[in-house]
Structure 1
């Protein structure tokens, strides 16, 4: 772990997810819904490490400590897709600015950042000032947690777990989900960079049994919903994808409701992200009982 002292803050960078979780675990567990992206990826990469899968050299984990040594923030750079945006959790304003200086001094090219506001705004603005360019918003997101589940109007069919035999269709729908989500809010397809797992990773997810189809009364697969394994007692739902020809029939509401019920039945809390520009998705999840927790943003630095 490398330590970079800043005025009133210490930024600790490490390359091992296990070391990161050991250092920041109590802090992350104190607000596990807000921390969900960082903790699920840290646990996923820790599991891959145990299977002998190496992380890319660019991957790092960040622990922010105050003068007393208490953890006051965290982040990571572990995205597997270009331009490999860091993800920041809440941290003091001065720490977010200090992080920009540290990344600039390390010679890291950072052209996008995701995460909690205002930390991500402050860090991106300082990076743009140091390296040139301007900051643009790619996507405003909102994290929600399920309170009491409200069941939607029932539709025909049932939830069915996806298996390894479904890898091609699941991979196709993962890719379509990313592009369709952009189109639905008026962005060009591919404007929002998101992970589409490679075949090996997709097979690992299918073996874990955390991807489900909604199958209609004829046996046709009409919808896909996924969820991460619980991390610090929180499981995040996503992706949620219905092919265009099947939309508006209630498949998504029923599938997400049943997946959410299963998450709560296993003793975990359910959460999910929405794109703030997509009123339909926000309305559907609110109707199911999902309540806003925190707003986040995906930013790009244009040079």
Structure 2
């Protein structure tokens, strides 16, 4: 199928061109939509290191309709590209264009098979190898099943909680890796969060904490702002000493209920190597939409 590949460094221009495509499948495009909207508004993670490259890609067919998108905006090494479904030939061409302009692409995240096509072609061009860092699965809430709630309750985080929220955001990546049986960092953008990022999210009302019956804060569930009628849940974090008591199930169910009641759809990502989180989310009514992957190229 004939196609045109266009790269832009302007997030607002990308949203203007890709808006209909993003809105057509807003669960699958949730990450691209929320990240790009944030950057288009002039906001970014305050502590994000300098990115060697930042771009958005548009794939258009012979009718000028957008049939695929990708971006490279990650604020953490190896600054992976994020690739959504697109024609196989377009994914291969994207890898070639990046190589020709001298980009070192050390990672590719996103939907299968497009992300794998980009990674494999990058490896072929550079003599590198592709390894899987983690297999992810994107879920959307179907019929909500509210589990029995443990003692205590959910509340919005306040500025008085900011130090704890920042510590838990940063701990989330390491904990996720450990629960999945991996060593090292998870490669999560929350690892680069600063106090300014946390205060912004608290002010936006998207961070929730569970306090137990004694008033101790034992769990965090957060969301991202809605994009095209979809809200992505995450991170979801319980410190090790408080796990196994139902806090995550109850908090995710309650946050999901609020999302649906506000008229939005709820989605979230799971690590396929973490049976605990997958079991929790499926039990409250989340159903798989598409498998995704984080790949390393090197």
User: Normalization by structure 1: what TM-score?
Assistant: 0.93
Q: Which residue of 2 aligns with 1:163?
A: 158
Instruction: List alignment gaps of at least 5 residues for structure 1.
Output: 1-6
Q: Indicate yes or no: 2:250 matched with 1:272.
A: no
Aligned to 1:80, the other structure's residue is in SS state coil
Q: Indicate yes or no: 2:189 matched with 1:195.
A: yes
Aligned to 1:214, the other structure's residue is in SS state strand
Q: Which residue of 1 aligns with 2:10?
A: 16
Q: Which residue of 2 aligns with 1:127?
A: 122
* Correspondence 1:206-217 to 2 at 5 A: 206-217=202-213
Q: Indicate yes or no: 2:99 matched with 1:99.
A: no
Deviation at 1:222, TM superposition (A): 0.3
Deviation at 1:62, TM superposition (A): 1.0
Deviation at 1:201, TM superposition (A): 1.7
Which one of the candidate residues 283, 289, 292 is aligned to 2:279? 283
Q: Which residue of 2 aligns with 1:46?
A: 40
Which one of the candidate residues 126, 140, 145 is aligned to 2:140? 145
Check conservation: 2:75, 2:189, Cα contact below 8 A.
yes
Check conservation: 1:180, 1:189, Cα contact below 8 A.
no
RMSD: 1.8
Aligned to 2:138, the other structure's residue is in SS state strand
Change (3 A) 1:165 1:48: farther
Which one of the candidate residues 253, 257, 263 is aligned to 1:261? 257
Check conservation: 2:162, 2:198, Cα contact below 8 A.
yes
User: Normalization by structure 2: what TM-score?
Assistant: 0.95
Deviations 1:270-300 (A, max 9, x none): 0000000111111111110000000000000
- Relative to structure 2, which stretch is displaced further, 58-67 or 116-125? 58-67
Aligned length: 294
